[in-house]
């Protein structure tokens, strides 16, 4: 499911620690990078690796690069590194419900 820049999604945004491991796209990750993990449906066997997405929530936005898979995410939800999440809200919030995002 390769999705173009005009497609907008609404879903939950959560965060995870990368532990400096390798993401599903094959690159080593670190929590200080602006990285996103997508659901299996949107990750599409890696077809969206390296694409940028812009996420907006309550007037804040961040652009992150797709570098990982979030197998536990709902279809239109996104998992972010702590640094990317903190551009939207404090980590203590944990889950941002109703965030919007699209490929850019």
Task: Report pLDDT digits (tens) over 56-102.
Answer: 999 999 999 999 999 999 999 999 999 999 999 999 999 999 999 99
Q: What percent of the chain has pLDDT over 70?
A: 94
User: Tell me, what CATH number does 33's domain have?
Assistant: 2.40.40.10
The number of distinct structural domains making up the chain is: 1
- Please identify which residue in the block is written with the tokens 């996420």: 55
What's the predicted TM-score (pTM) here? 0.92
Q: Within a domain: residue 99?
A: yes
Question: Containing domain of residue 95, as a range?
Answer: 9-103
Q: Within a domain: residue 37?
A: yes
Q: Within a domain: residue 74?
A: yes
Which sign does the torsion angle of CA 33, 94, 100, 38 carry? Answer: positive
Q: Within a domain: residue 20?
A: yes
Q: Within a domain: residue 3?
A: no
Rounded Cα distance, 22 and 78, in Å: 18
């Amino acid at each position: 499911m390769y999705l173009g820049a005009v497609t907008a999604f609404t879903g939950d945004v959560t965060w995870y620690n990368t532990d400096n491991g390798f993401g599903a796209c094959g690159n080593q990750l670190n929590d200080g990078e602006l990285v996103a993990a997508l659901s299996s449906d949107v990750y599409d066997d890696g077809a969206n690796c390296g694409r940028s997405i812009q996420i907006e929530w309550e007037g804040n936005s961040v652009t992150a690069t797709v570098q990982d898979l979030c197998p536990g995410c709902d279809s239109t939800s996104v998992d972010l590194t702590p640094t990317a999440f903190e551009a939207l809200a404090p980590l203590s919030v944990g889950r941002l419900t109703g965030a919007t995002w699209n490929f850019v």
